A and B are shown apart, each in its own frame.
Chain A
Amino acid sequence: MPPTDFDAIVVGSGMTGGWAAKELTELGLRTLVLEAGRPITPEQDYVEHKPSWEMPFRGLGDRRATASRQPIQRHSVSFDELSHVFWTDDVDNPYSTPADRPFYWFRARQVGGKSIIWGRQVYRWSDLDFEANLRDGIAVDWPIRYKDLGPWYDHVERFIGVSGQKEGLAQLPDGEFLPPMALNCAEQHVRQRMQERFGRDRVLTIGRVANLTAPHNGRAPCHYCGPCHRGCITRSYFSSVNATLPAARATGRLTLRPFSIVKRLVYDAKQNRVTGVRIIDAQTKQQRDYTARVVFLCASALESARILLNSDLANSSGQVGRNIMDHIKWGGASGQFDGWTDRRVIGERPNGIYVARFRNVSSRHADFIRGYGFQGGADRSGWEAALHAPGIGRAFKARLSQLGPWTMGFWGFGEMLPREQNRATLHPTLVDAWGIPSLHIDCRWGDNELAIHRDMSVAAAELLEAAGATHIEPSTSGPSTPGGTNHEMGTARMGRDPKTSVLNGWNQTWDVPNLFVTDGAAMTSSGCQNPSLTYMALTARACHYAVDQLKRREL
């Protein structure tokens, strides 16, 4: 085999690209990480401590710039006046959808990708999830089970640092946790009352979050300043910039190339191998190729599918771009409590509560299969509640510093079933600012998701009622827009059969042995848990497999 520029190329430097970089370099591979966006220097680019009065629009954002350049990205919950720079420019990075079926494709192009702006909630899957498709006769079966991924969950959690509380729930396996963050007064009460009413069936626990509560691997614990999505100068939450990329760099085997947009994979048909990738330099728009023995796509679910489609590779099954899934949300409820008027919250906990899935766990729901988890929390509103309060003058001013009643909210994150017709295809004419064909995304909720969404509000109100809340208000919102949860996945699914799946049980493409896809594209079903932890575990596992295969000269 001719010498290559690198042993491995990793496309993307975010959640999974950072893990691939760390694992591959630590296992001895000279690794090139290609990132489409700019470099990130925490000391310059992290702005979480910038006070509101130093922002021209005080956090309301530059509405005109946003409307013209980021009309889609603005819908992300993490998008604001400062963090908007961590999201892509919608004009330079267009895609299309059917006119009546919007899809939000939230994208991040910089070193660190979306790991800078993620929600940091990390939950293990269980065999309830891995066996779901087989049990329900939906799509295809996962080629792996919990026993295959469990050790890799351990591996990832030990490194990233996850604070959480062990609960011993079969459907939400416990992990390697740092001390949990505290529940506040109202949340403790609700946990207690739920326990009395529902026992082990519906358990409220503190969120399991990749924010440190103790020093960990040279990173400082959280100081509760609040806006994690603007960066974290103390590296207290996990991102690839804060943790995996520095670990990869420490090996001396990492080469990181920002501003490198992958146009396509380079393929040698005679050997049936990818020999490397072709990039366009984002700044000079010049092309160049890099070669390697193995390539990992970690560009995010839809971007990795786009690269495969633009390369016309690994798609003998016809499944690339299909089976788009997200998590449906906006069902839920809020309610108030009369007590603890002499108590308040100090500091900003970057975490809420979690209620593990309880539908279709030990009983069967009549209206839908699968289920959802609740996130949310309790707090007392401050001056925000006075924005529309009546009155002016001294008495009105006094309201600004008055705390509202303790209010608790539950919002569901529901599983989406894989369906082939939820699909991304190459657009026949639309290209991005670098001339690379863009995607046309056609994705909609199905009846099962809509039934889940309806049930969220009913069940959330039931929990609040059990807890003795007053003023219970079930959500009247329709379902979120597909893609809006930013948990898009499934576009190059794993499976047991090359005819019906893109990847085998090791995230290796069936068609091209030295090509791996380890981001959300690999997901065979969506679960209802926040997916990043599973992506990271799959990535680490696939890296060890690939290096093992390289050593055996089987790749």
Chain B
Amino acid sequence: MERRELIQWLVATAGLRALDGLAPADLFALGRDIHRHTAPHASGRTLTAHAEQTVTIAAERIIPATETPGATDAGVVAFIEKMLTDWHTPAERERFLAGLEDLDARCRARASRDFVACGEADQVAVLTALDAAHEEWFDRLKYLTVYGYCTSEVGQRALGLFPLPWRYDGCAPVDAAH
């Protein structure tokens, strides 16, 4: 058993859900759909300039640059764009984009400005409320931000996961160097 499989199992048993929550029947449908309409989204970008700026700032609020690099440094928005365009279903994508509009609406109600033009404190307050409410689109944004950061080169280095240690120690001191 590889660690990847073990962690998957351990995390799954702890009751967490996966991003890929489609039932097998939905995946079959997705596959058939792609066969039928071969017009790919591959070339078309999903995020407008405004939406891209919104996602960039929101991701940075979720994982800010501190003593270590943040979401912007890790290029998280490019990963999110790729996932929205080439991975998600049209329905998931639309819900996500509607969520970004809702984010602006909330900010206008609170501070009479779009999200990107709000002050940091207002941005954090609105995102914190969305996080607490477990809005589906926001959970997706947060998942993609965390996943994109932690699998980027910047993130892997910041987390001490890269370079690889090239050895195994099953009982190493927590602060041991690779």
Contacts and interface: CB of A to CB of B under 8 A. Distances in A.
A407 B127 CA distance: 32
Interface of A: 51-53, 56-60, 62-64, 66-69, 71, 74, 77, 119, 121, 181-185, 187-188, 207, 223-229, 333-334, 340-352, 375-377, 379, 381-388, 390-394, 396-397, 400-401, 403, 407, 409, 411, 473, 475
Contact of B31 (A68, A225, A340, A377): A68
Given A67-B31, A388-B16, A344 B172 contact: yes
16 contacts: A62-B87, A64-B86, A68-B35, A181-B168, A224-B165, A226-B2, A334-B14, A348-B2, A376-B1, A382-B161, A387-B146, A392-B61, A392-B127, A393-B62, A393-B124, A394-B66
A379 to B, nearest CB: 6
Interface string B5-36: 11101110111110110001001101110110
Given A58-B79, A350-B2, A377-B1, 6 more contacts: A58-B147, A60-B147, A347-B164, A352-B1, A381-B7, A409-B13
Nearest to B3: A348
A393 B161 CA distance: 21
Given A381-B7, A390-B131, A391-B131, A229 B168 contact: no
B116 interface: no
B64 to A, nearest CB: 6
Contact residue range for chain B? 35 or more
B171 A347 contact: no
Given A388-B17, A473-B13, A342 B131 contact: no
Contacts of B167: 223-224, 346-347
B170 interface: yes
A225 B164 contact: yes
Contact of B150 (A63, A181, A351, A400): A400
A66 B27 CA distance: 9
B10 A407 contact: yes
Contact of A409 (B10, B61, B146, B162): B10
A449 to B, nearest CB: 20
Contact of B27 (A67, A342, A391): A67
B143 A60 contact: no
Contacts of A392: 61-62, 124, 127-128, 131, 142
B6 A228 contact: no
Contacts of A59: 151
Contacts of B17: 388
Interface in B128-161: 128, 131-132, 139, 142-143, 146-153, 156, 158-161
Contact of B159 (A227, A228, A382): A382
The 8 closest A-B pairs by CB, nearest first: A184-B170, A67-B31, A352-B1, A68-B31, A347-B168, A52-B151, A58-B151, A334-B13
A351 B6 CA distance: 10
B125 to A, nearest CB: 11
B2 A347 contact: no
B170 A394 contact: no
Given A52-B151, A71-B28, A226-B2, A407 B86 contact: no
A233 to B, nearest CB: 13
Contact of B146 (A67, A348, A386, A473): A386
A346 B172 contact: yes
B33 to A, nearest CB: 9
Nearest to B61: A392
B159 A340 contact: no
B82 interface: yes
Nearest to B2: A350
Contacts of A345: 3, 168-172
A280 B48 CA distance: 51
B73 to A, nearest CB: 12
A65 B142 CA distance: 25
A226 B16 CA distance: 23
